C-alpha cells in the first residue's frame, strides 16, 4: 500500500517493455539528473544504469511476454536521484546473477551478468524486491558527487 | 545508429555513429558478422561519433573479438573511444581486451 503511494507521488511514466523505448527511458532519467545538478559524467552513468536495468526487465522479466510494461518513477530526493522500476513479469532478482570475472581472459570472459554488474558500480545502491501480487520493484539510488 | 564499413588492404574500418543499446546492438553484431563471415578478421571500430554504448554493445565487441582472435588470424581494435565509453569499458574490465588507437588510419595501418 505504502509502496504504491510512493510511486504515485513521484513523477511516474509507463513504458512498453520494448528495447526501442530505452531511448526515452534514458532521456527521462537524464532530464531529472541534469536538473538535479549531476555532472555530465554522472548523468551518463545514471542513463547507463537505467538502460541496463530496463533491458534486464525486458529481456528476463518479460521473456516470452509481448505486451509487458515498465512503470518508472524518477525524482530527486535531496541531493540524490531515486529511480524505481516496477514490472509485472517473472521474478528476476539481479542479486542472483553471478558476478562476471572482469579479470578473466578473452576466452573465459563471461558474456552475461555484465548489465547487473554495471548497475551496481554506477549507482550507489541497487535494491530489488519481489512483491507478491504486485511484481518486481527495482530501486536505484545515487547521490550527487 | 549508423554503420559504415570501409575495406582496406589489410583490414576493415567499421565506423559506428550514434547509440548502441539493446535495441540497436543486433545491427551492430550483424555488421561485424558480415565482415568476419567474409573471412576478414582485422577490424578497427571507429568510435569517434559514438555517443553511447551499453553492455549490449560490449557483448557484441567481445563476441567479435573472440572470432577475430581465433587461430591468431586477426583482432578487433578500437579507435577514438569517447571518454564516457572508455570509462564504462574500464568499469566492465574490457579495456584490457582491446587495443585502442587515437587515429583510424594508424589503426588500420597496424594490421
β-strands A12-16, A69-77: how paired?
A: antiparallel
What is the per-residue pLDDT for A11? 67
In this predicted structure, the answer to whether residue A2 has a pLDDT above a threshold of 50 is no
Whether residues B55 and A109 touch (CB distance < 8 A) is answered with: no
For residue A127, give the nearest of A65, A49, A60, A13 by alpha carbon. Answer: A49
Q: What is the pLDDT of residues A32-91, one digit of tens each?
A: 999 999 999 999 999 999 999 999 999 998 998 889 999 999 999 999 999 999 999 988
Which grid coordinates belong to B92?
566492465
**Which region holds residue A37: left if phi is over 0, alpha if psi is between -120 and 50, else beta?**
left
Whether residues B63 and A20 touch (CB distance < 8 A) is answered with: no
Contacts of A26 in chain B (CB under 8 A): 52
Instruction: Judge whether B72 is closer than 8 Å to chain A, CB to CB.
Output: no
Instruction: Judge whether B97 is closer than 8 Å to chain A, CB to CB.
Output: yes
Exposed/middle/buried for residue B43 (C-beta within 10 Å: 0-12, 13-18, 19+):
buried
What is the per-residue pLDDT for B91? 96
Whether residues B91 and A52 touch (CB distance < 8 A) is answered with: no
Instruction: Evaluate whether A52 touches A21 at the Cβ level (below 8 Å).
Output: no
Whether residues A51 and B21 touch (CB distance < 8 A) is answered with: yes
In this predicted structure, the answer to whether residue A1 has a pLDDT above a threshold of 50 is no
Superfamily holding B2-109: STAS domain (3.30.750.24)
Domain ranges across chain B = 2-109
What does the pLDDT average to over B97-106? Answer: 96
Instruction: Judge whether A42 is closer than 8 Å to chain B, CB to CB.
Output: no
In this predicted structure, the answer to whether residue A102 has a pLDDT above a threshold of 90 is no
Instruction: Judge whether A111 is closer than 8 Å to chain B, CB to CB.
Output: yes
CA dist A79 and B91 (Å) reads 24
**Buried residues in B8-40 as b, exposed as e (16+ CB within 10 A):** eeebbbbbbeebbbbbbbeebbebbeebbeeeb
CB-CB neighbours of B50 under 10 Å: 22
Which grid coordinates belong to A144?
550527487
Band (A7; pLDDT cuts 50, 70, 90): low
What does the pLDDT average to over B85-104? Answer: 96
CATH numbers and ranges of domains, chain A: 2-143 (3.30.565.10)
β-strands A135-143, B12-20: how paired?
A: unpaired
What does the pLDDT average to over A86-97? Answer: 84
Q: What is the pLDDT of residues A107-130, one digit of tens each?
A: 888 877 899 999 999 999 999 999
Exposed/middle/buried for residue A105 (C-beta within 10 Å: 0-12, 13-18, 19+):
exposed
Chain A, chain B: beta-carbon pairs less than 8 Å apart? 64
Q: Minimal Cα–Cα distance from A103 to chain B, Å?
A: 7
- Which residue from B minimizes the CA distance to A111? B59
What is the per-residue pLDDT for A4? 47
Q: Minimal Cα–Cα distance from A7 to chain B, Å?
A: 26
For residue B20, give the nearest of B55, B47, B57 by alpha carbon. Answer: B57
Per-residue H/E/C for A93-136:
CHHHCCCCCCCCCCCCCCCCCHHHHHHHHHCCEEEEEEECCCEE
Partner residue opposite B91 with nearest CB, options A22, A40, A118: A118
Query: Which H helix or E strand runs over A77?
Result: strand A69-77
Instruction: Evaluate whether A70 touches A85 at the Cβ level (below 8 Å).
Output: yes
β-strands A12-16, A135-143: how paired?
A: unpaired
Instruction: Judge whether B19 is closer than 8 Å to chain A, CB to CB.
Output: yes
CA dist A27 and A46 (Å) reads 10
What does the pLDDT average to over B52-63? Answer: 97
Whether residues B22 and A103 touch (CB distance < 8 A) is answered with: no
Amino acid at each position: 500500500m505504502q509502496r504504491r503511494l510512493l510511486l504515485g507521488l513521484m513523477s511516474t511514466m509507463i513504458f512498453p517493455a520494448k528495447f526501442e523505448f530505452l531511448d526515452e527511458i534514458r532521456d527521462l532519467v537524464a532530464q531529472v539528473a541534469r536538473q538535479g545538478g549531476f555532472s555530465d559524467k554522472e548523468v551518463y552513468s545514471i542513463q547507463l544504469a537505467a538502460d541496463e536495468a530496463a533491458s534486464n526487465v525486458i529481456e528476463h522479466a518479460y521473456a516470452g511476454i509481448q505486451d509487458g510494461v515498465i512503470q518508472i518513477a524518477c525524482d530527486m530526493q535531496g541531493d540524490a536521484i531515486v529511480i524505481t522500476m516496477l514490472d509485472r513479469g517473472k521474478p528476476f532478482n539481479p542479486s542472483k546473477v553471478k558476478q562476471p570475472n572482469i579479470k578473466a581472459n578473452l576466452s573465459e570472459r563471461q558474456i552475461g551478468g555484465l548489465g547487473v554488474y554495471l548497475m551496481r558500480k554506477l549507482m550507489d545502491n541497487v535494491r530489488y524486491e519481489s512483491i507478491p501480487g504486485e511484481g518486481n520493484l527495482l530501486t536505484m539510488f545515487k547521490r550527487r558527487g | 545508429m549508423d554503420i559504415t564499413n570501409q575495406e582496406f588492404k589489410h583490414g576493415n574500418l567499421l565506423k559506428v555513429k550514434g547509440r548502441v543499446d539493446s535495441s540497436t546492438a543486433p545491427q551492430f553484431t550483424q555488421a561485424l558478422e558480415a565482415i568476419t563471415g567474409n573471412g576478414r578478421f582485422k577490424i578497427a571500430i571507429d568510435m569517434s561519433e559514438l555517443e553511447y554504448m551499453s553492455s549490449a554493445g560490449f557483448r557484441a565487441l567481445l563476441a567479435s573479438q573472440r572470432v577475430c582472435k581465433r587461430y591468431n588470424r586477426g583482432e578487433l581494435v578500437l579507435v577514438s573511444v569517447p571518454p564516457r565509453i572508455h570509462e564504462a569499458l574500464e568499469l566492465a574490465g574490457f579495456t584490457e581486451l582491446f587495443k585502442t588507437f587515437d587515429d583510424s588510419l594508424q589503426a588500420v595501418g597496424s594490421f
